[in-house]
Chain A
Amino acid sequence: MNVNLATITGIGSVSPYGPFAGLILPSAVELEPITAWKTAGLRRAFLVKPFRPADVVPGLKTRRLDRLSAWALVTSSLALQDAGIDLSQVDRSRVAVVLGTGFGCAELTEAFFQSAAVNGWSGTDPSPFPEGLANAPASHVSLLHGLRGPNITVGTTGFAGESALIQAASLLRHGQADLAIVLAGDTLTRAVYEWYEAANLLSPACYNPDLQPEGGGFVPSEGLVALVLEPAGRRDVRSYARFSSGCCAAGGNAVETIRALLGDSVPNLTICAGNGAPCGTSSPTDLAREISGHDADVVPAQAVAEGLADAGALLHLILALSREPRSGQALLLATSGDGGFAALRLELL
């Protein structure tokens, strides 16, 4: 998919590194023991440490919201602040919000099931029902900031974050918005964690404090990243990267498709995202080398972002920008276990 250049001018994140406006300050992040629910022995994951949203964004009210909605309000505010955007000077009917998520508001969905388990279907608590809808976080972003442009919540197996970025850029290209807030992420809940466990997907490091996540397997994570996306050259401001094109497919020849996307340019950096599962016979790293050559500079997938499964792309991207500051052409590359792939072409600034 070709899009006119769209520039990333603001970043906000809530992740196991904490809440940040702009790039994440490089630091070590540890697996934390799960205490939010009773576990059968030690269970670990990459967790967002509890914080009061109003301590990060003064005045923010998040009671009764799913954590994903609360984080959407925090990250969108931080990203707008980072981009230096004064919304009172912007036509807010021209601002879009696009969220990519795998599980949506899983916490309040579970809460609604909980109220049905306790009171029966005829006695459910009304408040978690609308707040548990997958589009609630994006809707709250529009509500908080008064944004009246398109409001979209997408999911794609393996590539929800990539899909969100592609859809947002498409809205800008078609003149359906002048500015977009793109978000991607998920919360970790008991039902989600125990699904991974029941499916035998968890890394041994989830059970053993002496093991590191790099040892293999999957370590669940949580967090949300927001980016401000604007048409290139619209404002004379600092930019992190320019997004020029992207593709996402459920199958087919990944190398051929991505080479067609890149045209004549060969990226000097490939940022691997996705779950590292085989794409045909290629892992993301192998696929990166096949596309860019064996000497290609490849940033392997980061475990903390990989743990976000479908919705990790934006965290992969900002971690790479934080840790590997450089300029030039870059490719954000992800594969899924069943032949799917996603590629975003970026120019790092």
Chain B
Amino acid sequence: MVTGIGVVSPYGIGLDCLQEGMLSGKCCLAPTKDVYPGFEGSTAQVYGLPLPAKGADFRYSRSDRLAMAAARDAVATLDCENSAFREGGVFMASTVAGLSEIDPEIAEDPAAWYRRGSGLARAASYPPAHVADAVGDHLGVRGPRCAISAACASSAMAIALSANMLLDGAAPMMLAGGSDALCPFTLSGFSSLQALDKDACRPFDQNRKGLNLGEGAAVLVLETLDAAVARDANVLAVLRGWAMTNDAFHSTAPQTQGAGLADCMRLGMEMAEVRGDEIGYVNAHGTGTPLNDVAESHAYETAFRGCGRPVPVSSTKSYFGHCLGAAGALEAAITIMAVRCGALLPTLRLKDPIESPGVEWLQGEVRREVLPLAMSVSAGFGGSNTALIFGSRS
């Protein structure tokens, strides 16, 4: 059961901000050079992030702070003195983590860089595990803690593995999600790979040219049905099925036919015991890169073959870019929002979709319909794929 959702996105803090912004069709992408001089293209930045306590600011990376704000938002309605909360676990994803706090000068002379100002503490925030610790310590939870770094599928995996841990009895409650900050390291990295679109990205469009980077964090509160019922929790959605696979194909490119991703969706549907035609909406990985989107379209053709109608798919990365390790959790939150509102979000700027007869590419206006089940799909460098299936409580 999903009993809490916390979101920090370029729309602001909270699911309400995200919902209002996305349903109104607002795009948060803006010129990167406004924030990072020297970089071209478009990015989406979070503004108004709360500052940590005075004197502790150097201990927390921007990814930590995004995660802490999202986690605080996720537990806002929970009784934080409750023992289930205190014994709860934290499973956070990050690919950037504290890299945002480190300068290139570290490579020339690390010892000198550590001696400069707060270098030692800033470098300590480098491992992804620091994000999980920041969340756990901030909220005072003392159950199992884990961080995951599986590129852009990371936080979807954090949710899937947290669900496993709940079923294992590892903790009575799990806070699962991801957080990643924008920083020169990733801007430069994706730029060097020529993966960035200089304009606003156009996922699934025949004229797509690449991705835009964004930043944010999302945290879901997960509990078993019994635990949620026992404390009369407000159940926001049900995680009906989840699956993880790997392409075993290439370090950075997806398997051309999307076979690993298709297997992942199939396994998720098997676990949820649902058919493809019961999935009313798929929130796609949809980065906007030439290779990803065509492989992903093949994956939908395979996974939903035999359904009575094309499966409705959109990429919400067109609203605020690709948030890397946070993307899976943010898109899980958006998928739950879609189920709760009965709103199928279109891909922005999608004019000339990839030809894929088994897929209905959502474009134009938000479509309203009752949505009992929806799927969120994530993939990443290294071939990792994750599928999460959410349903309404009923």
Contact = CB atoms under 8 A, between A and B. Distances in A.
Interface in B301-335: none
A112 B244 contact: no
Interface string A182-223: 000000001100110111000000000000000000000000
A143 to B, nearest CB: 5
B72 interface: no
Contact of B38 (A117, A121, A140, A148): A121
A136 B123 CA distance: 21
Contacts of A30: none
B127 A155 contact: yes
A347 interface: no
Interface string B80-105: 00000001001000010001001111
Contact of A133 (B127, B129, B149): B149
B263 A93 contact: yes
A121 B39 contact: yes
Contact of B114 (A114, A152, A194): A194
A176 interface: yes
A152 B132 CA distance: 16
A290 to B, nearest CB: 19
A104 interface: yes
B246 A174 contact: no
Contacts of A129: 188-190, 192-193
Interface string B118-133: 0010011011111011
B58 interface: no
A297 interface: no
A259 to B, nearest CB: 16
B188 A124 contact: yes
Given A143-B249, A156-B129, A249 B142 contact: yes
Contacts of A142: 246, 248, 382-383
B146 A135 contact: no
B148 interface: yes
A48 B170 CA distance: 35
A125 B192 contact: yes
Contact of A252 (B104, B142, B244): B142
A167 interface: yes
B248 A148 contact: yes
A149 to B, nearest CB: 7
Nearest to A193: B110
Contacts of B182: none
Contact of B149 (A104, A143, A148, A163): A104
Contacts of A156: 129, 132, 145-147
Interface centre among B142, B189, B190, B250, by most chain A C-beta atoms within 10 angstroms, is B189
A153 interface: yes
B19 interface: no
A139 interface: yes
A74 B241 CA distance: 35
Contacts of A122: 38-39, 188, 191
Interface in A137-167: 138-140, 142-143, 145-157, 160, 163, 166-167
Interface stretch (B159-167, B205-213, B361-369): B159-167
Interface in B148-197: 148-151, 157, 161, 164-165, 167-170, 184-185, 187-193
Interface centre among B90, B123, B130, by most chain A C-beta atoms within 10 angstroms, is B123
Nearest to B190: A129
How many chain A residues sit at the interface, stated as a range, is 35 or more
A322 interface: no
A129 B196 CA distance: 14
A151 B386 CA distance: 10
B391 to A, nearest CB: 19
Given A133-B382, A153-B149, A117 B246 contact: no
A77 to B, nearest CB: 15
A313 interface: no
A149 B246 contact: yes
A117 B149 contact: no
B165 A92 contact: no
Given A142-B246, A251-B142, A157 B150 contact: no
A250 interface: yes
B149 A113 contact: no
A130 interface: yes
A148 B168 contact: no
A134 interface: yes
A36 interface: no
Nearest to A195: B123
A247 interface: yes
B203 interface: no
Given A135-B382, A151-B246, A113 B147 contact: no
A191 to B, nearest CB: 4
A154 B148 contact: yes
Interface in B365-394: 380-384
A135 B149 contact: yes
Given A124-B192, A152-B161, A146 B106 contact: no
Given A133-B381, A139-B384, A250 B144 contact: yes
A1 B169 contact: yes
A114 B151 CA distance: 22
A117 B104 contact: yes
A106 to B, nearest CB: 9
A199 B250 contact: no
B108 interface: yes
B201 interface: no
Given A139-B246, A174-B164, A247-B144, A113 B150 contact: no
Nearest to B251: A130
Contact of B382 (A151, A157, A191): A151
B115 interface: yes
B165 A116 contact: no
A87 to B, nearest CB: 11
Given A117-B107, A154-B147, A147 B246 contact: yes
Interface of B: 38-39, 87, 90, 95, 99, 102-108, 110-111, 114-115, 120, 123-124, 126-130, 132-133, 136, 141-151, 157, 161, 164-165, 167-170, 184-185, 187-193, 243-252, 260, 263, 380-384
The 9 lowest CB-CB distance pairs between A and B, nearest first, are: A139-B382, A251-B142, A129-B189, A150-B244, A134-B149, A117-B104, A126-B192, A116-B104, A114-B107
19 contacts: A93-B245, A103-B127, A113-B103, A116-B104, A116-B185, A121-B184, A124-B191, A135-B151, A135-B380, A136-B382, A153-B149, A155-B128, A156-B145, A176-B244, A191-B123, A194-B110, A195-B123, A197-B111, A250-B143
Given A160-B129, A251-B142, 4 more contacts: A121-B187, A148-B246, A166-B170, A252-B142
